[in-house]
Amino acid sequence: MIIGKWKPVNIFFACLMFSAFEALEITLQVSGTDIPSQFIQMLPYIITVLVLIGFIGKTKPPAADGVPF
């Protein structure tokens, strides 16, 4: 939600980014690289955290977020 700035289209592209790195993870595991599998499995999450660090303080949640209706 934060990476997508609470907009559905941006959230869609953030999900595509995460799934692309998951696909890369699977590809690297199947190809038999010398990198330990634990590091390869961390790849999508590390990239997501790095992207999220770039968005800290740059997004504002909706004003009605958390307000019951």
How far apart CA 23 and CA 38 sit, in angstroms, is 15
Domain carrying residue 26: 8-54
- pLDDT over 90 (residue 66): no
User: Given a cut of 80, is residue 43 above it in pLDDT?
Assistant: yes
Averaged pLDDT for residues 26-46: 90
Contact (CB, 8 A) for 25 and 40: yes
pLDDT of 15: 93
| Model confidence, pTM | 0.76
Give yes or no for residue 19 having a pLDDT over 90.
yes
What torsion do the CA atoms of 15, 21, 23, 24 make, to the nearest 10 degrees?
170
Is 28 inside a domain boundary? yes
- Mean pLDDT of all residues in 42-69: 84
Contact 44, 22 (CB under 8 A): yes
pLDDT at 58: 76
How many distinct structural domains can be found in the chain?
A: 1
